[in-house]
Structure 1
Amino acid sequence: MNKNLKKILIKTKKQVFTEISGNNSSNLKGEGYDFLELREYEAGEDIKNIDWTISAKMNTPYVKVFHAQKELNINILPILSGSMIFGTKKIKQDLVTEICSLLAYSSIKQGDPFSSFIVNEKFENITKRSKKLASVANMSDTIFNYNPIGKEINYKLLCNESFKLIKMKSILFLIGDFIEIEGFDLKLLSQKHEIFVIIVRDIFEENPQELGNASLVDTNNGLKFEGVIDKYSINDYKAFIKKK
């Protein structure tokens, strides 16, 4: 395993498993540990839920009602295009790997299964529904070593395939730089799932400096640029980023 990847896994696992765990309370009433209310006993209910102290004081049987503990379905979708191979302090793809690892370890700690997919020009399953720690390492290794150069994002594919392939109501984490967002429409997907979008960008992408004469290559499609990057082109670029 790559030394940097090993550091990411150790760091994220430590961050998650040394923190105090919580529970996923639903609005449903049922078995659990999160107290909801006391109410009078009804015929046919399980007598083990009777609060005998309160019942003795009120001279009538009362039962404790708890929030039901509900298992969540977590889906982690790193969106990896050529633009992920960039970073002034840390390569964006490494940061995406770290975020995915944190989310997966957090899911396991909560007792929830997670699945993961890589998205760009195609929709690729990495990890099937799992609660195993080994699945986090396998997912992280795939993301960390994935070669995104020459790949562009098809957001329409992302939305359509997510809707078709992820059957159960889930929490979706979409992780990418979201610089080019043509066709990115979450209306349909959000009717079925709860969605969180995590934007990963380098500070230079949002606040670039003047470079003067420059020769650049677009890692998404291989197109080359040679010209002057001055304050006027930077102002145009910042307006483009803000619009997106």
Structure 2
Amino acid sequence: MDKKIKKILIKTKRQVFSEISGNNPSIFKGEGFNFIELREYLPGDDVKKIDWLISAKLQKPYVKVYQEERELNIIVAFMLNGSMYFGSVEFKHIIAAAAGAIIGFSAIKNQDSFSYYIFADKLYKSIKSTKNINAIQEMIENIANFNPLGKSDNFKDLTKRLFKIKRKSLIFIISDFLEDFDFKLLSKKHEVIAIIIRDRLEEEPKEFGFVNLIDPQSGDSAVLDMDSYTKNEYKKEIKRKDHFMYEHFKKNRIRFTKIYTDEEPFIKLLKLFGRR
């Protein structure tokens, strides 16, 4: 086994099985999916559970009450296009593998069903739902050995495939989200959580002067003067893309976290799910 793969496997497994304690053995809790009743809205209730049609008729806010399912269906979908093969500290796709492993081990520990999809311009690998812990090692190996260079993203096909999953699921989509995407319909059927993987150099580039840049998706190259003007224009474009991303997540009630290549995925995921 490759040393990098072994390190991810040992570290993430130890974190999940040794460092997560308490009554809830998982770092996440999905929404309850079995509807029981309607009741009046109380301060602190999740507004996502408000039944707007009933509320409008009764002139009071009412929420749907659910009974949490004993078993969750956890899906981790990786978008490994060319830009994921980058990192000033660690490659983004390796950080993605670690984040996916933490989610996978947590699902297995909690006796939830787990499956994963490796996507770029098309589907490269997927497995059916399983509770077999060996699936986590297989996933890490597939991602670590995957070459994103020269591959474009295809969020449209990914979301179509995920939407077809019949059972309502807790879906983690892991990507750098530097390209356009639309999770509006997907988030209506499933609970979607976005894990953003970035390198700080992508958001705060340095003034390198003349550099030869290569597009990791198309392979095209160009000489560019990375002076203060170019740097500022680049940052404006990144902020524009991120503004769309955050607004899209907010509008569609998609939880998210951003993990940089110099950060610990385990800590960021714990914070995302409200565990300290």
TM-score after normalising by structure 2: 0.70
Aligned with residue 213 of structure 1, among 205, 210, 214: 210
Aligned mates of 1:91, 1:174 — CA distance in 2: 18
Matches for 1:89-108 after TM superposition, within 5 Å = 89-108=89-108
For 2:51, the equivalent position in structure 1 comes to: none
For 1:127, the equivalent position in structure 2 comes to: 127
For 1:231, the equivalent position in structure 2 comes to: 228
TM-score after normalising by structure 1: 0.79
Matches for 1:60-209 after TM superposition, within 5 Å = 70-164=70-164, 166-181=165-180, 184-209=181-206
Confirm or deny: 8 A CA contact 2:33 2:69 kept in the other structure.
no
- The aligned amino acid for 1:106 is S
- The aligned amino acid for 1:154 is N
Q: CA RMSD in A?
A: 1.9
Sequence identity of aligned pairs in percent?
41
The answer for unaligned runs of 5 or more in structure 1 is 31-66
- The aligned amino acid for 2:208 is L
The answer for unaligned runs of 5 or more in structure 2 is 37-66, 242-276
Aligned mates of 2:228, 2:196 — CA distance in 1: 25
Confirm or deny: 8 A CA contact 2:34 2:68 kept in the other structure.
yes
Larger radius of gyration: 1
The alignment partner of 1:99 has SS state of helix
- The aligned amino acid for 2:194 is V
- The aligned amino acid for 1:143 is I
**Shift in Å, 1:29:** 10
Aligned mates of 1:69, 1:191 — CA distance in 2: 18
Aligned mates of 2:92, 2:69 — CA distance in 1: 36
The alignment partner of 1:6 has SS state of helix
Q: May I ask how many residue pairs the two structures share in their alignment?
A: 205
Confirm or deny: 8 A CA contact 1:74 1:107 kept in the other structure.
yes
